[in-house]
Amino acid sequence: MNPSDLAAIAPELLLVVMGAVLVLADAFVPALRPRFGAVAGASAVAAAVLRWTGPLPGAVWSGALVVDPLARFVDSYILVAVVLVAIIAGPYLARTAASYGEFYGLLLFSAVGAMVLAKADSLLVIFIGLELLLSISLYVLNAFHRDSGVSLEAGWKYLVVGAFASALLLFGIALLYGATGTFSLAATARVVAERPLAGNPLILAGLALALAGFGFKLALVPFHAWAPDVYQGSPTPVTAFLSVVPKGAMLVTLARVVAALAPQALTPKWLPLLATIAIASQVLGNLVAIAQRDVKRMLAYSGIAHMGYALVGIVAFGFDGLVGVLVYLAAYTVMNIAAFAVVSAFSESEDEPHLITDLAGQGWRRPFLSFTLALAMFSLAGIPPTVGFVAKFLVFRAAVNQGLAWLAVVGVLASFVSVFFYVRVVYYLYMKPLPQRAPAYLEPWPVRVVAGVCALAIVGLGIFPSWLLNAAETAAKTLLR
Amino acid sequence: MTVPTTHFVIFAALLFAIGAAGVLVRRSGISILLGIELMLNAANLALVAFGRQHGQLDAQVFVFFVMAVAAAEVAVGLALLVAIFRKQRSIDVDRLNVMRW
């Protein structure tokens, strides 16, 4: 270890320290609890500033982590998500009388896990970032309303599925290590290039197990069954966080793993499998979402479908595909957080379902939040001029350029199906009359701020995508040198 | 005479399968956590066996991290089970079925 190693991970260190400070402050100076959200948000901003002003030395810590522009891109969007979630969590926690400071501490720990995962260049670091840092904090956050049956149920289900998935991943890692004799992705790439290992049963079994572990965490079909319950039962700000941050970090890790192995003979065997998973996720996610009556469950199935679209960018692996995946992650983050921010303000009690029918007529009563929700729905459906359209266009174009036009066709058809249930939300907001005894929803200013920022991003990046595109291209260049 | 790596790996795979079956079949929350422990430790055994075969210490270092992860996971899992038990006076996970579509 030398000082430059420490400098390279300064943002992560800052967040770990601030997370620990918040957890301790909750125990010793509870009077400061109302300020914790601001502290967590400020820490995330400071970490982002450190990342953008700090060095990008490439491989550090003996090759365990790679601090490159790709990592910087992913860090940026993780930290944006942390700031937005910290803002909407304030009024939510105050309202649900669960104003404990450890919420923000765990949020920061979880964000550090995602940031470590996105930089991992070693199977050991992938495992630690995924499980120890990212997921274990999230299990606690899911069950944060410990008096609420649904919240505990969500926490337990996420824990069992998450632990099961990481055990699969771990056994896969063990088998891969047995075949290659190294944990480092860079060294694995060299070993695979030198020796034809494609038919090695250890490699095949190891990759299959690791893929199943990734599939669980990304909620891809057939590993998706946990998602609706966990989305519905978790506190809404936590759902917003867990729907974007772990998935984004996992997808980038998957891209790093594929980049290490793909140029070799492994590719032709695995890409049809990934393509099948992508299509199954799109079709099943969109079809089952139609049947949902709860907004959060609907967004869970929509999330399954969206990870299917993003996976198309991995299947069409190459520069265009990776750019598509990165833009998709950024777009998915703003539109999902916009939707969940509005839902968190549109729900009275956590134990009750968040029915789509309860949105009836709210469009005229809560014009600003309803407009943001409608915009998020159009963006999730991929209708121009929103950022959701740009993202879908990029991944499908990458698929066509790689000679996988059929994959793009299926994706576009699945998107058509999805328009139905996204637009139904808009229909309820604006076309249905307000019921006699409409629930008195709150509209706290932090939620308005987040909704406004996300709405601006959805339209702004949809009309002027070049800024996001340039950032994604700079990031993608580092992986595919 | 040394035991060949294959034997260790087959043994680890069996342990892993028993653990996975435990997670999928058992209905008591504690048994499910035990099944997960078994899966993680089966992977540990495979790691150590491969580490010996390759003559490296990396795998043994990895195993210590896995132990730490397993401990943290079980701590959170047991805490959740205590909260669930307080709520419904049972740790039978089949009763965690409030959410349906």
B1-37 per-position pLDDT tens digit: 678 888 999 999 999 999 999 999 988 889 999 999 9
Structure tokens of B20?
Answer: 């996975």
Q: Across the interface, do B43 and A167 touch by the CB < 8 Å criterion?
A: yes
**pLDDT tens digits, residue range A299-309?**
999 999 999 99
Neighbours of A416 (CB within 10 A): 11
The reply to whether A402 falls in a domain is yes
Q: Across the interface, do A163 and B36 touch by the CB < 8 Å criterion?
A: yes
Mean pLDDT of chain A: 88
Q: Which residues of B touch A167 (CB under 8 A)?
A: 16, 19-20, 36, 39-40, 43
Q: Across the interface, do A136 and B73 touch by the CB < 8 Å criterion?
A: yes
The reply to whether A455 falls in a domain is yes
Alpha-carbon gap, residue A260 to B48, rounded angstroms = 24
**pLDDT tens digits, residue range A139-192?**
999 888 888 888 888 999 999 999 999 999 999 999 989 988 889 888 888 887
Stretch A229-250: mean pLDDT: 91
Domain count, chain A: 1
- What pLDDT, on a 0 to 100 scale, did the predictor assign at position B101? 45
Q: Which of A204-208, A227-231, A406-410, B47-51 has the lowest mean pLDDT?
A: A204-208
Predicted ipTM of the assembly:
0.95
The reply to whether A223 falls in a domain is no
A30-37 contact pairs (CB < 8 A, 24+):
A30/A101, A32/A101, A33/A99, A33/A100, A33/A101, A34/A94, A34/A99, A36/A101, A36/A103, A36/A104, A37/A86, A37/A87, A37/A89, A37/A90, A37/A104
In the block, which residue shows the tokens 């069954």? Answer: A225
**Position A266 pLDDT exceeds 60:** no
Q: Across the interface, do B96 and A156 touch by the CB < 8 Å criterion?
A: yes
Q: Which residues of B touch A292 (CB under 8 A)?
A: 101
Nearest chain A residue to B14 by CA distance is A171
Hey, which residues 272-311 in chain A have their CB within 8 Å of chain B?
291-294, 297
- Confidence grade of residue A350 (pLDDT, cut at 50, 70, 90): low
Work out the minimum CA distance from B91 to partner chain A, whole angstroms: 11
Q: Across the interface, do A160 and B36 touch by the CB < 8 Å criterion?
A: yes
- Confidence grade of residue A197 (pLDDT, cut at 50, 70, 90): low
The reply to whether A242 falls in a domain is no
- What pLDDT, on a 0 to 100 scale, did the predictor assign at position B34? 94
Question: Which of A77, A93, A111 is closest to A26 using CA atoms?
Answer: A93
* Domain span including residue A350: 268-481
Among positive and negative, which fits the CA dihedral A372, A378, A384, A388?
positive
Q: Across the interface, do B96 and A157 touch by the CB < 8 Å criterion?
A: yes
Residue of A138, A164, A182, A290 for testing the chain B interface, max B β-carbons within 10 Å: A164
Stretch A44-71: mean pLDDT: 89
Q: Across the interface, do B101 and A297 touch by the CB < 8 Å criterion?
A: yes
Alpha helices in chain B (DSSP H): 5-25, 29-54, 58-88
Work out the minimum CA distance from A458 to partner chain B, whole angstroms: 30
Q: Which residues of A touch B51 (CB under 8 A)?
A: 177
Task: Enter the DSSP assignment of B92.
Answer: B
Torsion of CA A138, A140, A141, A144, to 10 degrees: 160
Residue of A117, A135, A152, A351 for testing the chain B interface, max B β-carbons within 10 Å: A152
**Position A353 pLDDT exceeds 80:** no
Stretch A299-324: mean pLDDT: 91
Higher pLDDT, A99 or A237: A237
Domains detected in chain B: 5-95 (1.10.287.3510)
One-character DSSP codes across A460-471? HHHH-THHHHHH
The reply to whether A328 falls in a domain is yes
* Residue A76, Cβ density class (10 Å: 0-12 exposed, 13-18 middle, ≥19 buried): middle
Give the count of alpha carbons within 13 A of A466, CB side only: 1
Question: Which of A265, A319, A237, A257 is closest to A123 using CA atoms?
Answer: A257
**Position A265 pLDDT exceeds 50:** no
The reply to whether A453 falls in a domain is yes
Residues of chain A with pLDDT > 90, as a percent, come to 53
The reply to whether A399 falls in a domain is yes
Alpha-carbon gap, residue A138 to A111, rounded angstroms = 10
Q: Which residues of B touch A153 (CB under 8 A)?
A: 96-99
